[in-house]
Structure 1
């Protein structure tokens, strides 16, 4: 009996949803190109610290690549234009603008942003509505963009798919009416994607690549086939039971290297490669970022003897690994992803700011950094959580002076209930002088103090008070020693957002924040952080969660890198492909004085040995 049949039979793919995945082309470079149009024809690279975090396609054509050292880039392309990307404000603002543009076309508000440069849209309702409107003259169809205005839309040919397809040559060789209907829905979605893609370029000046399929996993991956400024639709059949051979989803997934599958991070991919190879995979010594040179495809793993969800559970089981990871990974390998596109959010789930250091081990240094981080955090809160009060309400005289106010005509969209401080001590040196890599963070949380929401005081005064009254006590709880901590990172985050007192059924902001604080006793009951809850997850192993896509930093810690996703768990969210700003401390090579991210240390040492 073939033990692989039962798990395959259980994996029934859900094709009810139609998902578009937008990936802005070279987003960080494109922001600078929009600010300075002459950059478009020049090789442009965005720098953070001593590394190129991204570059435009002209630079890539001339041999530059992401995560390249600045000195190497200048040697490869002497006329490269290098711009500093330390301040993320321009990227955040551009991302919000583009997100708002796309969101305006959604009917169900299922529009989810991933990082700065990717957006998922669930357009199932729009597609089904337009599918019902089609007549027999497919070549002269009209796509309706509004239920209320039948004239708002565009003409298109529903008999052909817009853009590229996978496979490139479509053959309808099955008799399934379900697959025929899916083909029609995907065709309509391809025309909607094409319309939005060109409209985005025309009105906003940004190009993007779009993938069209039935879930987030497949739409994200299929869009990668044709880049930049293009789109690809993954065509049926999706169900192998309706075919005499392999369905298109299986053949598509089988072609991918394990590390390219969203949801399979660096550590998981290494474990899976090692299982198939029967040994630890080798690294390419020529790459300072330690890429693997031994590719193991999804097909290699999926077809491995006895492979299935139970086998994967045994392979990946370990401390910190959630139960059911085998089922989750087996689903991804087979193109199954039940994660829904999240609803559009007015505010982020959390806001955090962090920085990495070569060494931080005395209170004076810590206080200086805490003040800078706290000031940056409050500035971010004002940017992301405040809006102008169009109602023109005035501050309630009964509101406590420490409560949030609407001075300057602004009001809070949401209030974070919790503030969290996290640090990452550097691992002690080994007997041979080397140092083991560690991504473990230690965290403590506290209720957010009420005074933070006052707009009557300036940010510097509030941040100083936040440091002295909240952050320093939290730091003392984490580190009891007076000095010598050897910290490589500090992170401050505000979480557990609560809508700022809506009076409407839909949750829109309906009244002045001062009014909310008339009932602040009831509101603040939610703000209590129990010691028992605080102790849960105090030491977080691996990379930060993907909820920290909103995190910013003054260094390379702004955007996570797929290369070092050592988190042993699998989530329903993934990192952005352009999110290549390292979230790590730096390694200083005593042999050549190079300063590199810590994750590149081992590969760099191997390079010296080889040399």
Structure 2
């Protein structure tokens, strides 16, 4: 309707495949409901105009714009799908209520109770209604969207009361009217968290209304639904919900699914998956993060027993594939996708696919191209690894250190594609790495800027703990190595013969001239 204002004056339904997934209020006046078959909707409303809504790209874009606007009022915004958000404005309410004496509720009020709580929640919820109207006005002016809002002291009541007056209205419920709100629900399925399966379990046990749920012993519910779930919905029946509003942040997964007529040819499967992948890569690029896992979902139809079976497979992918200048990205990812498909479906046997889906999960933030860590991780940078030096204090024996550089498959996209460091940066990186090495070996080591050229070699030799460091540093490298090897031999002999109490004589080597206090 925002894209085409002419649609505002007609009964409009949003179509996905053969279903009306949602509709405007003009269509709802004829009885059109969500997820209704198009054939049924047309019988109720012959003049129903349908718009294709299979591509959710624009819906997602606007949805996050709404969430961003709500963040202006509080950092605690929890997303529920595309068109709902919880927002905790407690801090803002407490700040504003101090400076307002004569407050009036904005919008509708559920219930007739005029009693005020001693704790001051009446004033706070009243201020909440003022803030809710501000939010709705901002969304209307910036995005041209109408909204509804529910204002309450917990998430459960706010969600339920938000649907009491539609469209484009808001309603507040005070704590004293919470029980009345719950008893006004026509079905248990109106309580968030009670879906069709749970409702059928309760109905089978003779629990069909909110009141009957309240009157059911908790032990009986636990026998039906388990301890945790039964206590949750039991509390819900009384309007009790202690769950906090959790900031959603970015989604944990980004995916697309598409149901289809029975596909039994690999060529058609590949074509459908390529379409999904192209759309999915656009969403990932807009998100800005780099995925590390790819998941494939299929739904197979078994003609023999006329049942459908949904299966998923996933595997890790190289984050470097998502580098800005990566060539043949789609083809490389499709190779992985088809590999997953072959793990699910035996291509040698007949198969019938009725749904395909792709999603990316386990995201990581893209490293900055100027991240100094990149200079330490590049293959062409000869930096001494110091991972084994920490064990020196425990065993007093340092094995020969080698350069440990991760492969490009372990690096982020920006690390792989970062520009080649200049000679100055290479030199600085070597100095910093050298300093870390010396810091681990001995605490009073001088800074790298004060060390001699010989001290900055790529393979430093640690000073034996019982030798004078200043003298040791002045020795030639060959002598240092001899002293260190001798020290290792002595320590090894002490360990081997300590249990047998065999005292080994000190070898007469050059090291004896540098022993402290000799």
CA offset at residue 352 of structure 1? Answer: 0.8
Distance 1:68 1:513 in 2: 53
Residue 79 of structure 2 is aligned to residue 170 of structure 1: no
Paired residue secondary structure (1:214): coil
Match among 335, 340, 343 for residue 244 of structure 2: 340
Change (3 A) 1:203 1:450: closer
**Greater helix share, 1 or 2?**
2
Query: RCO greater where, 1 or 2, for CA within 8 Å and sep 6 or more?
Result: 1
CA contact (8 A) 1:53 1:66 kept: yes
Shift of 1:195: 1.9
- The residue aligned with 1:443 is 312
5 Å-filtered alignment, 1:435-514, equals 435-436=306-307, 441-457=310-326, 461-468=328-335, 470-480=336-346, 482-501=348-367, 511-512=368-369
Preserved CA contact (<8 Å) 2:318 2:409? no
Distance 1:515 1:467 in 2: 33
Shift of the alpha carbon at 1:121?
0.9
2:262 aligned partner: 359
Q: What does 1:369-408 align with in structure 2 at a 5 Å threshold?
A: 369-385=272-288
User: In the TM superposition, what whole-angstrom CA distance separates every residue of 1:321-363 from its partner, at most 9, and x where no partner exists?
Assistant: xx62222222322323333222252x32110112123323343
Query: Aligned pair 1:275/2:243, yes or no?
Result: no
Alignment of 1:270-349 (within 5 A): 270-276=200-206, 296-304=208-216, 307-308=217-218, 310-317=219-226, 324-343=228-247, 345=249, 347-349=250-252
Q: Which residue of 2 aligns with 1:122?
A: 88
Give the Cα–Cα distance (whole angstroms) in 2 for the partners of residues 297 and 101 of structure 1.
Answer: 38
Does 1:199 pair with 2:103? no
Q: CA RMSD in A?
A: 2.7
1:472 deviates by 2.2
> Would the alpha carbon gap of residues 64 and 450 (structure 1) be closer, same or farther in structure 2, given more than 3 Å must change?
closer
Q: Select which of 175, 181, 185 maps to 1:252.
A: 181
**What CA deviation, in whole Å up to 9, does each residue of 1:161-185 have, x standing for no partner?**
2111121x23217xx522xx11111
Alpha-carbon separation, structure 2, partners of 1:380 and 1:230: 32
Q: Summarize deviations over 1:358-385 as a string: whole Å, max 9, x none.
A: 3233433322222222222212211222
Q: Highest Rg: 1 or 2?
A: 2
- Contiguous gaps of at least 5 residues in structure 1: 1-32, 140-157, 238-247, 278-295, 318-322, 386-413, 502-510, 528-611
The TM-score normalised by the length of structure 1 is 0.58
Q: In the alignment, what sits opposite 1:38? A: 6
Deviation of 1:480 (Å):
4.3
Counterpart pick for 2:193 among 263, 274, 278:
263
Structure 2 residue ranges without an equivalent (≥5): 379-405, 413-518
Deviation at 1:49, TM superposition (A): 1.8
The number of equivalent residue pairs is: 383
TM-score of the two chains, using structure 2 as the length reference: 0.68
Q: Secondary structure at the match of 1:133?
A: coil
Secondary structure in structure 1 of the residue aligned to 2:242 = coil
- Separation in 1, partners of 2:241, 2:127: 22
> What does 1:66-77 align with in structure 2 at a 5 Å threshold?
66-77=34-45
Q: How many angstroms apart in 1 are the aligned matches of 2:355 and 2:137?
A: 42
Work out which of the residue numbers 147, 152, 166 in structure 2 matches 1:213.
Answer: 152
